[in-house]
Structure 1
Amino acid sequence: MSEGTGIEAAIKRLQVALDTLEAASERRLESEQRDAGLSEQVHVLTSDRAQLAAELDSVTARARRLETANRDIAQRLDAAIEAVRSVIAAHQS
């Protein structure tokens, strides 16, 4: 193998190695960009989840208050109906 051929082969191997390194570097950069995108999506989803949890807590508290008010109103209506029945019964006797 002549000196020129050896140098040419070494240059070709170096070029292949550089091309491989460049391709690996591009894949790494793309991977990091995807990871950054995923990280942003996770951040947004976490923020949305926190907001939804707060809204759920608020709605649950309101539902409990409405249930309590409903029971109170039902008891008052029952008492009023019973009072009306008593008055009607007293006047019919």
Structure 2
Amino acid sequence: MPTDKSLELAISDLKFAIGGLENAIDARIERQRMGAEVEGEVRRVHADRARLAQELDQSEFRANRLEEVNREVSRRLVTAMETIRAVLDR
């Protein structure tokens, strides 16, 4: 019966098409999931960058402050040495 064969062929083609559609949907869902993971990772990287930039700013501030204190200590030591020399030279 040719009608039965064409019906079986049509059903087979339909099953094949549905399988392809299911595979395409699964692939799309997986790409979306991976995209969401990438977006989350990008957000984490930006947050880390902001935190590191803030820490760098704080470190630079501390380094500048230490440099200022170092210069002041050095100036005071020079003044003290000059005073001691002046006393010893008398």
Task: Please indicate the TM-score interval, normalised by the length of the shorter structure.
Answer: over 0.9
Q: Which residue of 1 aligns with 2:72?
A: 72
* Aligned equivalent of 1:26: 26
Query: Residue 58 of structure 2 aligns with which residue?
Result: 58
In structure 1, what is the equivalent of residue 12 of structure 2? 12
Q: CA separation in 1, counterparts of 2:60 and 2:28?
A: 47
Structure 1 unaligned blocks of 5 or more: none
Q: Shift of residue 62 of structure 1?
A: 0.6
How many angstroms apart in 2 are the aligned matches of 1:54 and 1:15? Answer: 58
RMSD: 1.0
- TM-score, scaled to structure 1: 0.92
Alpha-carbon shift at residue 36 of structure 1 (Å)? 0.3
CA distance in 1, matches of 2:21, 2:64: 63
Gaps of 5+ in 2: none
Count of aligned pairs: 90
Q: State TM-score, norm by structure 2.
A: 0.95
Identity of aligned residues (%): 38
Give structure 1 regions of 4+ aligned residues with deviation exceeding 2 angstroms.
Answer: none
